[in-house]
Structure 1
Amino acid sequence: MEPVIQEEASGCGIAASAALAGVPYADARRVANGLGIHAEDQTPWSDTRHVRTLLSAFHITTSPMETPFTSWEALPDKALLAIKWRREGELPFWHWVVFVRQGGHAYVLDSRKPLRSHLRRDFGRMKPRWFIEVYD
């Protein structure tokens, strides 16, 4: 699985969905926009419903609930992680990343444009709040 870089400041959900679907960001954005999901609107990224809808459009199934993060070892082989969780006024916000474990290796695909490497293994620096399991 390859990282996909977000093109808008709040496009992490679109980028994470694109990485899971194996499509370019522009394709995922086009599908998202057709579903009424727009990165410019920051409120979708304080609700899991929008990213679930987008993933469903790509025929990707997810767990119906969010699971609190306890440890990296306890994560399933594929998951959407909510990191950088915070409150802005009444709304919670977070940054979506994709956790992958395959071939005995674990890594995170992070779509943030300024990063030097979008394939991360610096697990101690990321502070996940919860995750959504992604099924193959």
Structure 2
Amino acid sequence: MQTPVIQEETTGCGIAAVANILGKTYSEMKAIANGLGIYADDTALWSDTQYVRTLLNNSGVSTSDDEIPFTTWDTLPDTALMSIKHQEKDGQFFWHWVVFQRIDDQAVVLDSAAYLDSNIRTDFAEISPKWFIEVHSAA
């Protein structure tokens, strides 16, 4: 299993999540994102799904058209971008991006948060996803 990419900026979880899916480093993904006009300090990166979709689509990876409500861990696709830690500020919703992957029947969450002891998470009871974006084809 790959070593998870850690976000190098407080607000870089979307960039790191896409890097985890594509197998790129944070700096490689940040350069691609910046080239597309996407920056970690833009709060829309963690309050709008279009930015992560653009990053994935730009690399030839397709996603579900809509956000799919989370029901159970067992019903998730093999790869999904998940929204956790939902919060609202001034009428705007924000979240933290993580990646769910099922590899050889082992389910894990790749969480790019720098403060975690382990960025490969299996503590599913502690993670409260609201919805996810299915990743149809990953590199």
Corresponding residue of 1:65: 66
RMSD, aligned α-carbons: 0.8
Question: Which 10-residue stretch deviates more, 37-46 or 111-120?
Answer: 37-46
Please state if 1:108 is matched with 2:105: no
Q: Which residue number in structure 1 is paired with residue 126 of structure 2?
A: 125
3-state SS, counterpart of residue 124 of structure 1: helix
Matched-pair identity in %: 51
Distance 1:110 1:9 in 2: 13
Give how far 1:135 is off: 1.1
Aligned to 1:3: 4
Runs ≥4 residues deviating over 3 A: none
Shift of 1:2: 3.4
TM-score, normalised on structure 1?
0.97
Answer with 55-64 or 104-113: which moved more: 55-64
Q: Secondary structure at the match of 2:124?
A: coil
Name 2:40's counterpart in structure 1: 39
- 8 Å CA contact 1:2, 1:22 repeated in 2: no
3-state SS, counterpart of residue 9 of structure 1: coil
Tell me which residue corresponds to 2:83: 82
* Unpaired segments ≥5 residues, structure 1: none
| Count of residue correspondences | 136
Q: Do residues 98 (structure 1) and 83 (structure 2) align?
A: no
Secondary structure (helix, strand or coil) at the match of 2:34 reads helix
Shift of 1:102: 1.6
User: Is the contact between residue 6 and residue 15 of structure 1 (CA under 8 Å) also seen in structure 2?
Assistant: yes
C-alpha deviation, 1:3, in angstroms: 1.0
The unaligned stretches of length 5 or more in structure 2 are none
